[in-house]
Each structure stands twice: as structure tokens, then as C-alpha cells.
Amino acid sequence: MTKAIKPRTRPRLSHVDEKGRVQMVDVTDKPETDREAIAEAVVRMNAAAIRAIRRKEVKKGDPLQTARLAGMLAAKRTADLIPLCHPLPLSLVEVLMEARPRGYVIRSRVRTTGRTGVEMEALVAVATAALTLYDMLKAVDRAMVIGPIRLLEKRGGRSGHYRRT
């Protein structure tokens, strides 16, 4: 007797309906939970750019503080930038810069209590902060490299806790 083999089904993407059209996910019935996401971006730059930051010689002003503020603002505007993101009332947006020998690591922590996660807000924060560093330092180093940009951790919601290993 042969066993019937079930065809393998692909996981359904939540932002695509049965006709293949993009849609915003309806989160009405999801419970509100505490949610948090941590993301990171790396910016590698030449010694002259690093020196200009540390000696406060950047003509446009302090690139680290400007990038931090840009990242915070961007996190709050994520739904305006990413079409299918829900606008969220964020309770915390932190953007921190850590000096490295060849540049900076940017980390963001975003929190809310809501029906959907804040991963995109955390990622948009670090990406925007990295782009702001590039903008402020491009006169010194046009060869800066941004990346990787990645989610490090998320908590809350149905999918639970994720930590990049």
C-alpha cells in the first residue's frame, strides 16, 4: 500500500493576499504586548574621517549627535517610509554610537506596547543614522562602507524572543 504524499505548502506571506496583492496586515485581533527590538549598523571609514570626528573638525557640526537625532526621528517616521508598516506609538527610541578602530557601530533600541513589533523602527533608526554619518563625512571619505545592517534581538508578540547568534 502506497502512502499519499502531501504536497509541500509554502508559508503564506502575511503582506500578500490570496491574489498576490500586497496588503497591510490587520492586527485588530492581536493582543497588545510589550515589544522591543535592537538593531545594529556598521559604518567603516578612513582614518581622516575618524580623526575629523574625534577632533571636532567636521564643518557641518557634530556628526555623531546629528546621526543619533536623525535615527531617533526616523524611527518615529518609519510608517511614512516603509509602505506596509503600521504607525506605532513608540515609548523609547535609543540610538548609540560606539567607536571602533575603523569606524562606528550604531545600535538602536526601540520599545512600544502594541499589536505589532518594532523591528522595522529599530532598523530604520540605524540605517538613517548611518546614512547621516555618510552625509556629514562624505567630503572627507566618499568610500565609507555602510553594513551590515541587521536585527540583533526582538521581544514580544506571538513569535516570541529572537536573538541573533
Name the residue with cell 515589544. 35
For 105, the grid coordinates are 557601530
Under 8 Å between Cβ of 153 and 38: yes
For 4, the grid coordinates are 499519499
Mark whether 34 is an active-site residue. Answer: no
The catalytic position among 29, 62, 80, 135 is 135
The closest alpha carbon to 40, from 101, 119, 117, 116, belongs to 119
- DSSP-assigned states of every residue in 55-85: TT--TT--HHHHHHHHHHHHHHTHHHHSTTP
Catalytic residues: 135
